Chains A and B, each alone.
Chain A
């Protein structure tokens, strides 16, 4: 009973190896130029910004779960740390620009993640899930119980006065899109490089079989904790962006256990152990409710009430997860890779 068959190591090769020289600039051009010029305010602010932020969160969890093989249900709590950390830093250090607050907030989250990771040197597998749940519920409780965290405001919510960086206002949908996109692209680039180096190799070795990894001399505990810290850094930044670039104002409820599950589903559906999969999964998760909503509106013109629709959505998610885990455990990213491989040799053989 090894855990290897759900997460084949080939995945990493497929996704880091396909980068033909012209693909990356093309993708960046689409993201930075084509999409903003085509999409309206609604699409940018309500669909693309949350998609990017969720992708970043999914990427963070993917580093931990998909690459280092440590399951976690504490993503929401760590996102809250990032959001509240940013809020408090901006509050207590006047004149601090947002990017300068994001970095230390991310580092604080990384420290919290590191602490959450300490039990992983003795606890494995499902047992570890409990330590992440402990973090999730403790953090939720902490941010709600002590008013200092939300600056004694009413409703326990946090918000920033404005998204101004170096005198430029990023408050519009377009501005927020560019802000989030820049951060997400930079962090994805860093993650890709991290995974290609010895850190990533050691993580996958630990994921595939930690006993074997220890035998060949990888300091397993140190790299597990590093995975927790790095993953938390990403989740913290994602949390701050979710609160301030997407929602505008946030409370602990924005980062509860449901959020943790959502992030987990992103990487299950998108693809565990795949950077691109985080983006695909996030797109899927944020577009499915929207698509379903539009579909039911056009088909039944409001005859289906919102509660039922929500339940249908739940069932569809459940079925999808079951289908994916049975048919394609590596998610949409794997399907896409297979499709690409077929398309490349297309007229010859399909």
Chain B
């Protein structure tokens, strides 16, 4: 039983890392209807920028600040060069655009900053702590706490500020928001920047775990089942989805893995997502689409 609990808690905590990646997706999907495949490469880009700046001698806070400024610039560029010309185009066209974007961002990030693995030390010791007999990774706890703080900040941003109000208006009904004089382009820029920053946070945590390297951009593929389970439009869903995926994946690997020789984590989340979809085609918290001819 204790072993089960330990596995479960470990899985849940690992799941918050997935949630962090998925939140960036949800933000962009809500505000601009774009399924942003480039979130993973933006995550890689921002983390790589931060690490490179930090290694170049900038102190932690300054490197973070400069990275955020760069991310804001990238968001403005993306909006100007890619989103604006594609206004009113099909979701599929926008998705394909983000595929292209992911290649550009990856190419630039690795071309400019190199492909070697950077170590990132956030100053969190990965020493397990004990709760009774249950061992919990301190790093995972810190990651979960970070996720909590991030969600808190986002909630304040969305619910208590003028920008947040406009964001919600755009997400709710783009056309009505436009007619009220909300600057849609500005909102898109802000949302992409915020999604980039949440990607940076996720990337720093992932990077501290496994090194800042190309593989980081692949967490995007892992975030997909999380989004599917939680629904594309709900931050709460992204959190729940991440927890479910993390827990289920860890439990499956521990209990089913030995039966088939391990390695289940590479595909288990996707199969789980399909099972969820079969029961609820719009995810746990997603909005049901109504089709009209």
Interface residues of A (CB under 8 A from B): 1-6, 71, 119, 122-127, 129-131, 133-134, 137-138, 140-141, 144-146, 209-212, 215, 257, 261, 264-265, 268, 307-308, 311-315, 317-322, 325-326, 329
Q: List 6 A-B contacts (CB under 8 A).
A: A3-B92, A5-B93, A71-B92, A123-B274, A319-B104, A326-B85
CB nearest to A119 among chain B residues: B274
CB nearest to A138 among chain B residues: B267
Q: Which residues of B contact A119 (CB under 8 A)?
A: 274, 277-278
Min CB–CB distance B34 → chain A (angstroms): 11
Q: Known contacts A1-B90, A326-B86; decide if A138 and B270 are in contact (CB<8 Å).
A: yes
Please determine whether A124 and B90 come into contact, CB atoms closer than 8 angstroms: no
Q: Which residues of B contact A318 (CB under 8 A)?
A: 100-107
Q: Known contacts A6-B92, A130-B273, A307-B115; decide if A325 and B103 are in contact (CB<8 Å).
A: no
Q: Which residues of B contact A265 (CB under 8 A)?
A: 99
Alpha-carbon distance A319/B108, docked complex (angstroms): 11
Which residue in A133, A312, A326 is a CB contact (below 8 Å) of B270? A133
Alpha-carbon distance A210/B293, docked complex (angstroms): 9
Alpha-carbon distance A140/B274, docked complex (angstroms): 18
Q: Which residues of B contact A209 (CB under 8 A)?
A: 293
Please determine whether B263 and A145 come into contact, CB atoms closer than 8 angstroms: yes
B139, CB-defined interface residue at 8 Å: no
B128, CB-defined interface residue at 8 Å: no
Q: Which residues of A contact B95 (CB under 8 A)?
A: 126
CB nearest to A144 among chain B residues: B263
B162, CB-defined interface residue at 8 Å: no
Please determine whether A212 and B293 come into contact, CB atoms closer than 8 angstroms: yes
Alpha-carbon distance A5/B96, docked complex (angstroms): 14
Please determine whether B107 and A211 come into contact, CB atoms closer than 8 angstroms: no
Interface string of B246-290 (1 = CB under 8 A from A): 000000000000001111101100110110011001010000000
B221, CB-defined interface residue at 8 Å: yes
Q: Known contacts A6-B89, A130-B273, A134-B274; decide if A314 and B99 are in contact (CB<8 Å).
A: no
Q: Which residues of B contact A321 (CB under 8 A)?
A: 96-97, 99-100, 103
Q: Known contacts A311-B107, A326-B85; decide if A126 and B274 are in contact (CB<8 Å).
A: no
Interface size classification for chain B? 35 or more
B110, CB-defined interface residue at 8 Å: yes
Q: Known contacts A1-B91, A141-B266, A212-B293; decide if A124 and B281 are in contact (CB<8 Å).
A: yes
B35, CB-defined interface residue at 8 Å: yes
- Extra A-B contacts (12), CB below 8 Å, given A1-B33, A311-B107: A5-B90, A123-B274, A124-B281, A126-B232, A127-B228, A130-B225, A211-B291, A307-B115, A315-B111, A317-B100, A321-B96, A322-B81
Min CB–CB distance B18 → chain A (angstroms): 14
Please determine whether A314 and B103 come into contact, CB atoms closer than 8 angstroms: yes
Min CB–CB distance A91 → chain B (angstroms): 22
Please determine whether A326 and B103 come into contact, CB atoms closer than 8 angstroms: no
Alpha-carbon distance A317/B278, docked complex (angstroms): 35
Min CB–CB distance A251 → chain B (angstroms): 16
Closest 5 CB pairs of A and B: A321-B100, A318-B103, A134-B270, A314-B107, A318-B104
Interface residues of B (CB under 8 A from A): 33, 35, 81-82, 85-86, 89-93, 95-97, 99-108, 110-111, 115, 221, 224-225, 228, 232, 260-264, 266-267, 270-271, 273-274, 277-278, 281, 283, 291-293
Min CB–CB distance B52 → chain A (angstroms): 15
Please determine whether B278 and A133 come into contact, CB atoms closer than 8 angstroms: no
Min CB–CB distance B79 → chain A (angstroms): 13
Please determine whether B281 and A123 come into contact, CB atoms closer than 8 angstroms: yes
CB nearest to A313 among chain B residues: B107
Most buried by A among B81, B97, B115: B97
Min CB–CB distance B167 → chain A (angstroms): 20
Please determine whether B96 and A325 come into contact, CB atoms closer than 8 angstroms: yes
Q: Which residues of A contact B90 (CB under 8 A)?
A: 1-6
CB nearest to B95 among chain A residues: A126
Alpha-carbon distance A134/B89, docked complex (angstroms): 28
Which residue in B105, B221, B274, B291 is a CB contact (below 8 Å) of A131? B274
CB nearest to B277 among chain A residues: A123
Q: Known contacts A315-B108, A326-B86; decide if A133 and B277 are in contact (CB<8 Å).
A: no
Please determine whether B270 and A137 come into contact, CB atoms closer than 8 angstroms: yes
Alpha-carbon distance A5/B90, docked complex (angstroms): 7
Alpha-carbon distance A126/B29, docked complex (angstroms): 12
Alpha-carbon distance A2/B35, docked complex (angstroms): 16
Please determine whether A130 and B224 come into contact, CB atoms closer than 8 angstroms: yes
Alpha-carbon distance A317/B266, docked complex (angstroms): 27
CB nearest to B112 among chain A residues: A311
Alpha-carbon distance A318/B232, docked complex (angstroms): 25
Please determine whether A268 and B281 come into contact, CB atoms closer than 8 angstroms: no
Please determine whether A322 and B281 come into contact, CB atoms closer than 8 angstroms: no
Alpha-carbon distance A140/B266, docked complex (angstroms): 9
Q: Which residues of A contact B96 (CB under 8 A)?
A: 268, 321, 325
Please determine whether A315 and B103 come into contact, CB atoms closer than 8 angstroms: yes
Which residue in A6, A125, A131, A315 is a CB contact (below 8 Å) of B104? A315
Q: Which residues of B contact A133 (CB under 8 A)?
A: 221, 224, 270
Please determine whether A138 and B271 come into contact, CB atoms closer than 8 angstroms: yes
Q: Which residues of A contact B106 (CB under 8 A)?
A: 311, 314, 318
Please determine whether B104 and A322 come into contact, CB atoms closer than 8 angstroms: yes
Which residue in B35, B81, B93, B115 is a CB contact (below 8 Å) of A126? B35
Please determine whether A6 and B93 come into contact, CB atoms closer than 8 angstroms: yes
Please determine whether A312 and B293 come into contact, CB atoms closer than 8 angstroms: no
Alpha-carbon distance A313/B111, docked complex (angstroms): 10
Alpha-carbon distance A260/B35, docked complex (angstroms): 18
